[in-house]
Amino acid sequence: MRIDLHLHTNASDGQHTPTELIDIVRQHRLDVIAITDHDTTAGIAEAQAAADGYPQVLPGIELSAEDEQGDVHVLGYLIDPANAAFQDKLAHFRTERLERGQRIVQKLVELGMPVTWDRVMAIAGDAAIGRPHVARAMVEAGYVESVRDAFDRYLYNGGPAYVARYRLSPEEAIQFIHGASGVAVLAHPGLLPDYRAMVNRLVPAGLDGVEVYHPENNQTVRLNLSGLAQQYGLVITGGSDFHGSAIKAHARPGMTDPPPECVKALRERAERYNSSEDNVEE
């Protein structure tokens, strides 16, 4: 069984529609996938309808948390997209993203790079607006060579055009996911300055798993994460973090090959939250 549990569509910052993504993952002969768009579940239903059972499409999300280490993303698997309180909070996040994007564009204007907000909106379409959409507008306008270049020079955390966002802590992200009956997994830990400390910190908060198999995790990181997973009884997952070749050229669906048993392990973990009285309502 071939699995990829980290895939993005144009419902957030991916290149392809959910239907197009299903066609792509079928070409790569994947059996189980998860749609994990940033702060939105808008692409899940279309992907599941397009798949019609093959591949299996697990409902997921990638929440953008932040703390002293910088961006700390938390993946949620087997969430309930129909949870009303969950969707209310996601709507708040998307509104904040919209306002943040406008402030970033204003900073670029002040820096002598007048990207238009209308163009950023057109690039994003119906997706939740994020820095990658601004970066693509910068590429089109000729201010930078690539999306990566835009981040490296202007949009990185603390950069000249950076605007801080609403700070959702990693612990809050975990509880948010559990409240929607989901399983919380630390995304691409190899990108963190101190992933060991983050795992140690989040286990008491209810962390369920770690994304061991990710293109940004080298072999040493994978071995260390596997050891932490064994130590704490965490689910080992993995995914390509595929956004589309125009956005992340190196990532392709199915490139990481996480262990097939992780899907069953995620389902077993989800049972404890399905039967729990906890929810995201206040």
> Would you write out the chain's pLDDT as a tens digit for each of its 282 residues?
999 999 999 998 899 999 999 999 999 999 999 999 999 999 999 999 999 999 999 999 999 898 888 889 999 999 999 999 999 999 988 888 889 999 999 999 999 999 999 999 999 887 778 898 999 999 999 999 999 999 999 999 889 999 987 779 999 999 999 999 999 999 999 999 999 999 999 999 999 999 999 999 999 999 999 999 999 999 999 999 999 998 888 899 999 999 999 999 999 999 999 854 444 443
3-89+169-274 belongs to CATH 3.40.50.1100: no
Cα-Cα-Cα-Cα torsion 107, 70, 15, 184, nearest 10 degrees, comes to -140
CA 190 distance to own-chain centroid: 15
pLDDT of residue 275: 56
Assign 63 to helix, strand or coil. strand
pLDDT of residue 277: 47
Tokens 């040493």 found at? 220
Locate all alpha helices (DSSP H) within the chain, ordered by sequence.
18-27, 44-51, 84-110, 117-124, 131-140, 147-150, 170-179, 195-202, 219-232, 261-274
44-75 per-residue burial string, b: 16 or more CB within 10 A, e: under 16: bebbbebbeeebebbbbbbbbbbeeeeebbbb
**Cα 44–Cα 182–Cα 80 angle in degrees, nearest 5:** 45
Given a contact cutoff of 8 angstroms between Cβ atoms, the answer to whether 63 and 176 are in contact is yes
Tokens 């995790």 found at? 217
For the chain, the domains span: 3-89+169-274
pLDDT of residue 281: 43
Rg, Å, the chain Cα set: 18
| The model's pTM | 0.83
Nearest in space to 238 (alpha carbons), one of 219, 256, 220, 261: 256
